[in-house]
Structure 1
Amino acid sequence: HFTWPSPDIYNPYSLMNAFSEGELNAYWFGSGTPTYLIEMLRKFHVMPQQIGGRKVRRENFDAPVERMTNVTPLLYQSGYLTIKDYIPFAQLYTLDIPNQEVRLGLMNNLMQNYVPDTEPVGTLLGLMAEQLHTENMDGALRLLQTFLSTVPYTDNTDYEGHYQQVLYIIFSLLGYYVDVEVHTPRGRVDVVMRTAHTLYIIEVKLDKSADEAMEQIDLKNYPERFALCGLPIVKVGINFDSGRHTIEDWTIEG
Structure 2
Amino acid sequence: MKNLPLGMNTLAKLIKQNCVYVDKTQMAWQLICQPGAFFLSRPRRFGKSLFVDTLKEIFEGNKPLFKGLYIHDKWDWTQSYPVIKIDFSDGTLQTRESLDRRIYEILFDNATRLNVTLSKGRDIPGTFGELIRFSAEKYGTRAVVLVDEYDKPILDNIENRDTAKIMREGVKNLYSVLKGQDAYLQFIFMTGVTKFSKVSLFSGVNQLTDITIDAQFGTLCGYTHHDLQTHFSKHLDGIEQEEIKQWYNGYYWLGETTVYNPYDILLFINKRAQFRNYWFETGNPSFLIKLFQKNRYFLPDLESPVVTEEILDSFDIEKINPLTLLFQSGYLTVAHTFTRRRRMMFLLKVPNLEVRIALNDHFINGYTDLVNEKIGIQDNLYTCLENGDIDGMLKVIQRLFKSIPWRNFTNNDLADFEGYYASVIYAFFCSLDAEVIPEDIDNHGQVDMTVKLGDQIYVMEIKVVDGTNADKLNCNPALKQIQDKGYADKYRGIDGVTVHEVGLVFSKASRNLIVF
TM class by smaller structure: 0.7 to 0.9
2:322 aligns with 71
Name the CA distance, whole Å, in 2 between partners of 1:241 and 1:73. 33
Name the CA distance, whole Å, in 2 between partners of 1:200 and 1:234. 5
| Correspondent of 1:83 among 334, 337, 353 | 334
CA contact (8 A) 2:364 2:370 kept: no
Measured against aligned partners, the alpha-carbon deviations of 1:162-209 in whole angstroms (never above 9, x if no partner) come to: 222221111111111113333333333122111120221112233465
1:9 aligns with 259
Secondary structure of the structure 2 residue equivalent to 1:200: strand
Measured against aligned partners, the alpha-carbon deviations of 1:108-144 in whole angstroms (never above 9, x if no partner) come to: 1112343133321111101221222222122122122
| Correspondent of 1:131 among 384, 393, 400 | 384
Name the CA distance, whole Å, in 2 between partners of 1:67 and 1:245. 33
2:352 aligns with 99
How far off its partner does 1:33 sit?
A: 0.9
Name the CA distance, whole Å, in 2 between partners of 1:60 and 1:245. 35
CA contact (8 A) 2:264 2:279 kept: yes
Name the CA distance, whole Å, in 1 between partners of 2:502 and 2:489. 15
1:185 aligns with 2:185: no
How far off its partner does 1:227 sit?
A: 4.5
CA gap 1:139/1:187 in 2 versus in 1, 3 angstroms? same
CA gap 1:229/1:100 in 2 versus in 1, 3 angstroms? farther
| Correspondent of 2:394 among 141, 159, 163 | 141
Bigger Rg, which one:
2
Which segment drifts farther, 202-211 or 238-247?
Answer: 202-211
Which segment drifts farther, 97-106 or 155-164?
Answer: 155-164
The one-letter amino acid paired with 2:462 is V
The one-letter amino acid paired with 1:181 is E
Which segment drifts farther, 74-83 or 42-51?
Answer: 42-51
Secondary structure of the structure 2 residue equivalent to 1:157: helix
Name the CA distance, whole Å, in 2 between partners of 1:163 and 1:45. 11
1:176 aligns with 2:434: yes
**Percent identity between the two aligned chains:** 25
| Correspondent of 2:287 among 36, 39, 43 | 36
Which segment drifts farther, 80-89 or 107-116?
Answer: 80-89
2:480 aligns with 215
Any gaps of 5 or more consecutive residues in structure 1? Answer: none
Name the CA distance, whole Å, in 2 between partners of 1:57 and 1:14. 29
Give the aligned length: 250
TM-score (norm 1): 0.85
Name the CA distance, whole Å, in 2 between partners of 1:17 and 1:84. 26
2:510 aligns with 244
Name the CA distance, whole Å, in 2 between partners of 1:203 and 1:4. 36
TM-score (norm 2): 0.45
Larger relative strand fraction = 1
How far off its partner does 1:47 sit?
A: 2.0
CA contact (8 A) 1:65 1:73 kept: no
| Correspondent of 1:194 among 431, 452, 457 | 452
Measured against aligned partners, the alpha-carbon deviations of 1:18-64 in whole angstroms (never above 9, x if no partner) come to: 12223111111111111222233345553212224233333331234
Name the CA distance, whole Å, in 1 between partners of 2:367 and 2:258. 34
CA gap 1:239/1:45 in 2 versus in 1, 3 angstroms? closer
